[in-house]
């Protein structure tokens, strides 16, 4: 059977590694065979809007050579990348292009002059391409999303252990400046013992999902605006799925604060969803009650709430809200026995320091005497100038820098395959819980017990 004929599910079934694989703890030589690299040779798979941000960061680094890109979008993505490459490389370097359909990335992976690949494709391709990259001997940095099923997550872990190739999870919000300052607060005991955390993805995506209500026809999507090409694939998830489709922005940062997979782990979750109203209402308002898309039935509830229990006794609440009119918020809250920080209010309350029963403004890193100035993370203090102008307030630079520096040094990844598998798994487990009326779902231990002895490393080395 040709690769083009492989159904995604069949592909996943044929790529499950047999047995438990090799322990990453027992194969340091295979994990990082080439250390102290002066330059990292990079290929990029998926160079749409998100991928072009990664491409720009790589092109601007003296310690990275961009070797090749792969993307089937020859009308917009590839021409935009050519322009970007020519502008930065000035015609001095040739970057190979793989554009012959969605599976031409396999040919990119056959090259022997690539060390690492950055994967920024539609969600359903992430695990397929990451598994293929590891089997080809390339270390992947993989963008975030949620898996379609738990087996995808095991495929990532099993392949990484079996090949000895590490995987880096590109959760940029872990590197957001205020998040890292709060991480500092947690580690220095400002809030006492942590008991409860919240996070989520609360982002009005209706304009992205609909292009003024014109995209969906039947079960598919059709439109031509290059600025919203993400809707070509993202909208269909809202049609067919009901769960927390994008858990990593909220879960990743708070996981670091309570050492998930490194002395702690997620045990179980329960999820519930509201009725689905927001997307239909948006279509009718923009396109009218007779618009063909008004007949589409959306499965995704407007608000999905997930409650997670951890081994060490904390609870985590995640919110997914992308179909409602609202300002952007990741809904962070970090609470302990001595106080808390809340993202939406940008406020802190510390017992014995704050005025009784009154919030204090957290301030920012430039406000003398503020919490954010006092606890500003050493990474941000050191690399503020380097990150200036990078996407998402500079945090995109930090996540790419962590990946490249780890590859160069042969160092363990701060956000690794166990983290990504755990975060990805929340989506299918939340879907199952919602479908079962909120029944408890048990979260797999992707470390196979090694979480008990693994030590925290995220943002403990101010180099990366």
The pLDDT value given to residue 433: 98
DSSP 46-72: --SHHHHHHHHHHHT-TTEEEEEEE-S
Give pLDDT tens digits for 226-285: 344 566 778 889 999 999 999 999 999 999 999 999 999 999 999 999 999 999 999 899
E strand or H helix that includes residue 132: helix 126-135
The pLDDT value given to residue 441: 98
The rounded distance, in Å, linking the Cα atoms of 307 and 296 is 30
Choose one of 154, 171, 188: the last residue of a domain: 171
The pLDDT value given to residue 385: 93
Residue 402 within any structural domain of the chain? no
pLDDT above 50 for 103 = yes
Residue 385 within any structural domain of the chain? no
CATH code at position 302: 3.30.360.10
Give pLDDT tens digits for 56-96: 999 999 999 999 999 999 999 999 999 999 999 988 889 99
pLDDT above 80 for 370 = yes
Largest CA distance in the chain: 69
Question: Are 104 and 181 part of one and the same domain?
Answer: no
pLDDT above 90 for 298 = yes
The pLDDT value given to residue 49: 87
Q: Among 136, 137, 157, 139, which Cα is nearest to 147's?
A: 157
The rounded distance, in Å, linking the Cα atoms of 448 and 38 is 35
The rounded distance, in Å, linking the Cα atoms of 401 and 40 is 12
Place of tokens 């039947």: 218
Question: Are 155 and 22 part of one and the same domain?
Answer: yes
Average pLDDT, the chain: 89
Average pLDDT over residues 112-141: 97
Question: Are 166 and 178 part of one and the same domain?
Answer: no
Residue 397 within any structural domain of the chain? no
Question: Are 313 and 327 part of one and the same domain?
Answer: yes
The rounded distance, in Å, linking the Cα atoms of 228 and 231 is 6
Residue 398 within any structural domain of the chain? no
Percent of the chain with pLDDT over 90: 80
Identify whether the C-beta of residue 51 lies closer than 8 Å to the C-beta of residue 77.
yes
Main-chain dihedrals φ then ψ at residue 246, nearest 5 degrees: -145, 70
The pLDDT value given to residue 1: 42
Q: What angle do CA 161, 166, 172 make, to 5 degrees?
A: 130
Token pair for 309:
């229990």
Percent of the chain with pLDDT over 70: 87
Instruction: Give the Cβ contact number of residue 2 at 10 Å.
Output: 6
Residue count of the chain, please give it: 464
The rounded distance, in Å, linking the Cα atoms of 332 and 330 is 6
Token pair for 57:
């960061």
Residue 463 within any structural domain of the chain? no
Listed in sequence order, the DSSP H helices in 198-242 are 206-210, 231-240
Range(s) of the domain holding residue 314: 174-378+417-452
The pLDDT value given to residue 44: 98
DSSP 270-301: EEEE----HHHHHHHHHH-TTSGGGGPPP-S-
């Amino acid at each position: 059977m040709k690769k083009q004929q492989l159904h995604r599910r069949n592909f996943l079934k044929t790529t499950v590694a047999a047995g438990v694989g090799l322990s990453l703890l027992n194969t340091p030589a295979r994990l990082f065979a080439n250390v102290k690299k002066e330059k990292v040779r990079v290929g990029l798979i998926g160079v749409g809007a998100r991928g072009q941000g990664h491409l720009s960061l790589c092109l601007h680094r003296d310690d990275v050579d961009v070797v090749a890109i792969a993307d089937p979008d020859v009308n917009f993505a590839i021409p935009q990348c050519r322009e970007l490459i020519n502008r930065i490389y000035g015609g001095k370097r040739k970057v190979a292009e793989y554009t012959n359909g969605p599976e031409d990335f396999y040919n990119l992976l056959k090259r022997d002059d690539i060390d690492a690949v950055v994967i920024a494709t539609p969600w359903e391709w992430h695990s397929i391409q990451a598994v293929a990259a590891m089997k080809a001997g390339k270390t992947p940095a993989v963008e975030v999303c949620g898996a379609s099923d738990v087996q995808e997550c095991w495929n990532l872990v099993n392949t990484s252990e079996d090949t000895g190739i590490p995987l880096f999870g590109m959760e940029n919000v872990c590197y957001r400046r205020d998040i890292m300052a709060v991480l500092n607060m947690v580690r220095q005991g400002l809030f006492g013992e942590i008991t409860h955390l919240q996070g989520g993805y609360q982002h009005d995506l209706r304009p992205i999902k609909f292009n003024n209500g014109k995209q969906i026809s039947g079960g598919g999507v059709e439109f031509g605006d290059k600025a919203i090409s993400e809707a070509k694939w993202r909208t269909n998830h809202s049609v067919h799925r009901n769960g927390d489709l994008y858990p990593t922005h909220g879960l990743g940062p708070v996981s670091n604060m309570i050492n998930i997979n490194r002395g702690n782990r997620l045990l179980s979750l329960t999820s519930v969803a509201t009725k689905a109203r927001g997307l239909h209402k948006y279509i009718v308002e923009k396109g009218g009650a007779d618009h063909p898309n008004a007949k589409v039935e959306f499965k995704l509830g407007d608000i999905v709430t997930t409650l997670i229990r951890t081994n060490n006794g904390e609870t985590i609440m995640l919110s997914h809200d992308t179909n409602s009119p609202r300002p952007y918020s990741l809904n962070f809250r970090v609470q302990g026995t001595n106080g808390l920080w809340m993202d939406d209010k940008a406020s802190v309350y510390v017992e014995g320091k704050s005025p009784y029963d009154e919030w204090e403004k957290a301030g920012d890193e430039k406000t003398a005497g503020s919490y954010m100035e006092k606890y500003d993370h050493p990474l941000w203090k050191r690399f503020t100038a380097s990150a200036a102008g990078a996407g998402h307030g500079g945090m995109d630079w930090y996540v790419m820098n962590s990946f490249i520096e780890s590859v160069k040094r042969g160092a363990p990844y701060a956000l690794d395959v166990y983290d990504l598998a755990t975060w990805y798994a929340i989506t299918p487990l939340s879907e199952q819980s919602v479908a079962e009326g909120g029944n408890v779902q048990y979260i797999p231990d992707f470390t196979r017990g090694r979480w008990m002895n693994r030590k925290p490393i995220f943002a403990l080395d101010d180099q990366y």
